A and B are shown apart, each in its own frame.
Chain A
Amino acid sequence: MQIISKGLKFTYNKKTEFKRQALNGVDLTINEGDFFGIIGQTGSGKSTFIEHLNGLIPVESGELTIGEFDLSVSAQKPKKAYKERLKLLRRKVGMVFQYPEYQLFAETVFEDVAFGIKNFFPEIEGEQLALKVKNALELVGLNYYEVKDKSPFELSGGQKRRVAIAGVLVLEPEVLVLDEPVAGLDPVGKRNLMELLHSLHGTVLKTIVIVSHDMDEVSENCNRVAVFSDGVAVKVDTIENIFADVDFLVKHGLELPLTAKIKEDLKAVGVDIITDYKIDNLIEKIYKNYKG
């Protein structure tokens, strides 16, 4: 499913004195198969944009299509049909919010993961339900028999987050959208979770979209990136092109990933290293350059 946004606009509290234009005409395309990164300063519209991707925020102005789903204003009527399509869309586009573990609520891990299924497919129950929950928990690297009867609150931070992700994966989405997926995890937990996402990407998930403020994380994991600034996607490009344009990033209040910083500093002393900004590849390139 390709995601195409054209001129997408959104204003919070439109009719009040607190109104704030969060999106100001977003043009961008996310291709099927992308591990897509959305970056930008706090308040640049990143979260507001992704909340459009499963219809959580209805399109107010502009066009938005997710595969065959048209979410644009013109397609929101008749209301009943639109709601039916939204329901289908929400299965296809899974959404994991910031600190999703704060949204765990059920008494057991099983109940938490099963919640989505019960909501969307009340007819699925018993063994069939258990099988789906088991699959989802195994996808996120948790042992079904060990965790299913536990309270989510007994688990570690990293495990809780995995349970929250399993609760989305259980609906077998094609696209997974995650807002700051590794925030608050310890370094090893971060690495493990990103590895998990990569293992899901291209197998059970076609497309992954992450919102992140960690440039190192984005340069390490994504293939394409959109830079948001004041509610607009000011640049949509490959990792290589995004991080090669230092002035542009600085202008939009973003830092360089460490790999880009080092590449720039070396360039200043006449050493030009061609890199994709992945840390291990940079090490290799520096080594070769030194040797050769």
Chain B
Amino acid sequence: MEVISVKDVTFKYEGAELPVINNLSLSVSRGEYLCVLGENGSGKSTLARLINGLLTPNSGRVAVYGFDTKDKDKQFEVRKRVGMVFQNPDNQMVATMVEDDIAFGPENLGVPSKEIGERIDFALKSTNMENFRFSQGQKLSGGQKQRVAIAGVLAIMPEVLILDESTSMLDAKGRKEVLDVVKELNDKGMTVITITHYMDEAVNASRVVVLSKGEIVKDGKPSEIFKDSNELVSYGLELPRSTYIANKLIKKGLPLKEGILTAEELSEELCKLFQKG
């Protein structure tokens, strides 16, 4: 089932010379874990804002669960289905206390207060922030704030979760925790769109789309996307580190299998190789 349809969309910021999104089409199915890659300025964040209706196209059509994002009467239908977590946690805090901040979304949607409490519990637990329920948001570190932002979106129980570089300020452990949560939500059926600069996050997606100058230049499984390193570099990207090491060793004549994407695969291959030898 198609949940998001982007059809021939062009978008230009006012006053800009060139469009940021250039006649782009993209269809996202329910339950997909889609990762959008692309260099700074390639249009990734703009695409995300077009999908949740924060921006509307100059031409073409964006539809979420069939609702046209241009249709002002249906804005609510779009927004409650697409939850978005942004890059900078400082711009996303609305309340002083963490608990109130998370409650803001569901309160606006008119969720009964008992259920709001349950949603807060769930959201805090999912983001490993239970101990900060009554903390002042402003006093949290960048990573902690970002987890609150994610919790705030989870409390809305959206159908589609968009993460716009939301893990870029987290430490490795925090990142893993958040990615595990996202994975779990995806396993339970939530459609996930993640925008990231971490190639190793892209490896976990079911589908990767590469943007360059507002157009989709690559679309496929991670293993297909990370085949050609020269092409990736031309889009401001690079191979996952494990793939980089594997490719270099293969070039030097070591008989490793093709298509290594993760540290685990690389380790396993190397260990096999040395145990044989």
Min Cβ gap B50→A in Å is 19
A-side contacts of B59, CB under 8 Å: none
The verdict on A269 contacting B248 (CB below 8 Å), with A42-B170, A98-B142, A189-B39 known, is no
- Selecting from A80-88, A164-172, A237-245, A282-290, the interface stretch reads A282-290
User: Which listed residue (A156, A262, A270, A283) contacts B267, Cβ 8 A?
Assistant: A262
Residues A157 and B199 in contact, CB atoms below 8 Å apart: no
- Mask for A27-38, Cβ within 8 A of B = 1, else 0? 000000000000
Chain A contacts for B169, CB-based, 8 A: 98, 180, 183-184
Contact B263 A262 (CB under 8 A): yes
CA distance A73 to B237 in the complex (A): 48
Are B39 and A188 in contact (CB-based, < 8 A)? yes
Chain B residues contacting A158 (CB-CB under 8 Å) are 40
| B26 at interface, CB cutoff 8 A | no
> Which of A98, A261, A290 is in CB contact (< 8 Å) with B277?
A290
CA gap between A215 and B172 in the complex, in Å:
8
CB nearest to A258 among chain B residues: B241
B217 to chain A, nearest CB (A): 14
B252 at the interface (CB under 8 A from A): yes
- A residues at B contact (CB < 8 Å): 12-13, 18, 20, 40-43, 47, 98-99, 102, 156-158, 180, 183-191, 213-216, 253-255, 258, 261-262, 265-266, 268-271, 279, 282-283, 286-287, 289-290
Interface of B with A (CB < 8 Å)? 38-41, 87-88, 135-136, 139-144, 165, 168-176, 197, 199, 233, 236-238, 241-242, 244-245, 248-249, 252, 254, 263, 266-267, 270-271, 273-275, 277
Name 11 A/B residue pairs within 8 A (Cβ), A-sorted: A42-B171, A47-B141, A183-B168, A184-B197, A189-B40, A191-B238, A253-B173, A254-B172, A265-B267, A287-B254, A289-B274
